[in-house]
Chains A and B, each alone.
Chain A
Amino acid sequence: MTRLKGNLQLILGNFELNSGEFELPLEGVTVLFGRSGSGKSTLLRAISGLDKKTTGQLTFGNVIWQDGSKAVPTQKRNIGFVFQDAALFPHMTVKQNLMYSVKRLPKSVSPADFDEIVTRVGIADKLERGVNFLSGGEKQRVAIARALLTRPDLLCMDEPLSALDWRSKAQMLTLIEDIVSAYQIPVLYITHAPAEVERLATNIVFMAKGQIERVESLQKALSRVDSPLFDDEGAVSVLQGKPMPIEQGLRPVQMGNNTLWLSDLGDLNKSMVRVRVLARDVSLALSDPEQLSIINHLPAEVIELLPQENHRVLVRLELQDGQKLFAEITEHSASRLGIVEGLTLFALIKSVVLAE
C-alpha cells in the first residue's frame, strides 16, 4: 500500500493552509472531509502540485513530490484529477478530450483499454459529441474517463457530485465504487456530505481551519459519539453485508449468521453493500418480539452507555459478526429495561437504507 506523507503550507489571500504532519494510507477511497472553507480543496491542489506557492514536504510512496519550495510539476506526478465542474475542454469533442490524455502518456506507461473504460463509464455512444451538448452527469463521466486514461497512480476527485441532481448522484456513486474496485487506484475524494463518506470511505481526513485534525478509518470515525459525520439526524451506524437474491419482495443482506431485510430492490450486483442506520431508528428489546411489524431483529450485546442531552442515552451495541451499531433510547427506557454493559438483547431496526 502506498503512503502519502508530508506537511504542506499554502497561503492564498486570507486563507492559510497549514496541514501539519500527515501520513495517509492510500487504500480504497480516502475522503477529505470538512465544512466549506476548511481547506479541503486547497490541500488537494497542494497535493497535486496545482499551486506554485505551495511549500513544505510531500512524498508519494518513495517519490518526493515537494521539498521546501521545490516541487515536481503536476504533469510529472502521474495523477488523475476530476474537478467539481468537470473542466472539459469546450473546443473539443468527447473523444478529443479523452485522447488529450492518451496522446500524452509517456512511452514507459502502457495505455489503458480505451474501449473498456468508455464502456464502463457509460459514454461509448457519446464520443463524437461536443462537450457543450452533454448533461451534467455525462460531463462528469467524461471527466472520470479522461482521468482514468492518464493511467494515474492516484486519482483526485474534488466534490465530483456537487453539481449533479440526486438521481445522477446515485448513479455516479455506484460508478465510483465500481471504478475503485475494478482498477484498484487509490482515490483522494473531497466531500462535505456525510452520506457520500459513509458510502465510499475507507479512511477519512478531517479538516478544519486549514489544518488536518485527524485521520481515521470510517469505522473508527463512526464509533465516536461526537463524530463530525453526524449532522442533525444524530448518530449513524454503517453496516456491511452481502446482498442476496430478492425474497418475498425484500432484499436480504447477509451479515454473519444474521440477515437484514431491505425494501430497496435496486440492481445490486456487488459482493458487499453498506447500509445506513440512524441510531434513533433502533429500539431495544430484552427478548425477541415475534408479533411486531418491524422485521429486522438482530441479537446484540451492549458495549457502552453514553448519556446524551435531553435525557437520552446512546447505546453502543456489538452484533454477532462484530459490527457496531448505535441505538438511541430514553433514560427512562434504559433504566426500565435495566440496560447495562454486557447485557445481550435484541436491536429492532425500524428503517434501513442503502448508504448513498
Chain B
Amino acid sequence: MIEIFGVEVSLQPIWLTLEVAAWTTAILLLVGTPLAWWMARMQHSSKIVLEALVALPLVLPPTVLGFYLLIILNPNGHVTEFLRFFGFEGQLTFTKEGLIVGSVFYSLPFAVQPLMHAFEAVPQKLLDAAATMRANVIDRFFTIVIPLSQRGFLVAATLTFAHTVGEFGVVLMLGGNIPGETRMVSIDIFDHVESLEYDQAHVLSAIMLIFSLVVLMLVYGINRRFGVKIG
C-alpha cells in the first residue's frame, strides 16, 4: 500500500498487469512472427480458415474465450497432463502463467495481423533478388523481411501490449480475482467501483490513462524518427 494524492492504493495489480503484458508481447512476437510469415506467403484457399481462426478473439466475447480456455486448461485436462510430462508442476488456471496463456490467445490477432500485413508488403522481387545473390530462406528473412517490416513489429508489439493491459473478461474467467496473485488492474478498478471506493478507482484509472498515453506517444515518436520508408 502506498499513498498517492492522499489515497491509499496498492500498486500490485499494476505491476502484475505490466508483467503479464510484457510476457504476452514477448511470446506473441516470437510465435506470431513465423505464423504471420507463413500466412503471408500462403496462396492456398485454406488461408481463409487460418485468417478467420486468428481473428476469432476480435469478435468472440472475451468471456466465451475465457470459458473455453478454463475448460481446456483445467488442472486435470489433457493440456496440463501433457505439460506435467515435461516436468511442469503448477497449473494453468487461477495462476499468473494461466493469465499469460489466456492473454496470448486473446491478443493473438493484434500481433499476427500487423505482422502479416507488413510481410505481405515486402516485394517478392527483393526476395528473388536476394536469392540470386545466394541468400537462403532464413538469410532472406533476417536481412530483408525483418528490416523492411520494422513498422509492423512496432505496431504489433504496441497493440499486443496495450490490448493485454486492457483485458478484462478472459482474465476474470481464467485467472479469477485472487488479490496479489491474479488480480489485474482492470479488475481491481472494477472492484473499487463496486465497493464505492471511487478515490482508489480514480487514482488507478488516472495512472493507467497517463501510462497508456505516454507509451503510445513514445511509440509514435520512435516510429516517426526511425521509420523505414519503402519505395
Task: Mark A residues whose CB is within 8 Å of B.
Answer: 45, 48-50, 73-76, 79-81, 83, 85, 87-91, 100-101, 104-106, 132, 146-147, 150, 156
Contact = CB atoms under 8 A, between A and B. Distances in A.
Contacts of A76: 134
B133 interface: yes
Given A81-B128, A83-B128, A85-B125, A73 B229 contact: no
Given A74-B128, A83-B129, A85-B125, A90 B134 contact: no
Contact of A50 (B128, B134, B148): B128
Given A87-B123, A90-B230, A79 B132 contact: yes
B143 A100 contact: yes
A265 B228 CA distance: 46
B134 A106 contact: yes
A84 to B, nearest CB: 9
Given A83-B125, A132-B229, A50 B130 contact: no
28 contacts: A48-B132, A49-B131, A50-B128, A75-B133, A75-B136, A81-B132, A83-B129, A87-B123, A87-B126, A87-B128, A89-B126, A89-B129, A89-B130, A89-B144, A90-B148, A90-B229, A90-B231, A91-B228, A100-B133, A100-B135, A104-B134, A104-B135, A104-B139, A105-B134, A132-B229, A146-B129, A147-B132, A150-B134
Interface of B: 123, 125-126, 128-136, 139, 143-144, 147-148, 228-231
Contacts of A50: 128, 131-132
Contacts of A85: 125
Contacts of A132: 229, 231
A88 B125 CA distance: 9
Nearest to A84: B125
Contacts of A90: 126, 148, 228-231
A255 to B, nearest CB: 40
A179 to B, nearest CB: 17
Given A75-B135, A75-B136, A150-B134, A87 B229 contact: no
B131 A75 contact: yes
Contacts of B230: 90
Contacts of B134: 75-76, 101, 104-106, 150
Contacts of A88: 129
A80 B132 contact: yes
A147 B144 CA distance: 17
Contacts, number: 67
A45 B128 CA distance: 9
Contacts of B126: 87, 89-90
Given A87-B123, A132-B229, 19 more contacts: A45-B128, A48-B132, A49-B131, A50-B132, A73-B131, A73-B136, A74-B131, A81-B129, A81-B132, A83-B129, A87-B126, A90-B228, A91-B147, A100-B130, A100-B135, A101-B134, A104-B133, A146-B129, A147-B132
A185 to B, nearest CB: 14
Contacts of B231: 90, 132
B24 to A, nearest CB: 29
Contacts of A156: 132
Contacts of B123: 87
Contacts of B144: 89
A87 B231 CA distance: 10
Contacts of B128: 45, 50, 74, 81, 83, 87
A80 B148 CA distance: 23
A193 B162 CA distance: 56
Contacts of A100: 130, 133, 135, 143
Of the candidates A49, A73, A75, A147, the one having the most CB atoms from chain B within 10 angstroms of its own CB is: A75
Contacts of B135: 75, 100, 104
B131 A87 contact: no
List the 6 closest pairs (A to B, CB-CB), nearest first: A81-B132, A74-B131, A104-B134, A87-B129, A87-B125, A75-B134
B156 to A, nearest CB: 18
B41 to A, nearest CB: 11
A169 to B, nearest CB: 21
B228 to A, nearest CB: 5
A101 B143 CA distance: 12
A209 B137 CA distance: 32
A79 B229 CA distance: 29
Nearest to A156: B132
A73 B230 CA distance: 27
B130 to A, nearest CB: 7
A334 to B, nearest CB: 53
A105 B133 CA distance: 8
Nearest to A106: B134
A100 B128 CA distance: 13
Contacts of A80: 132
Nearest to B150: A91
A355 B25 CA distance: 61
A112 to B, nearest CB: 13
Nearest to B130: A100
A91 B148 contact: yes
Contacts of A74: 128, 131-132
B48 to A, nearest CB: 18
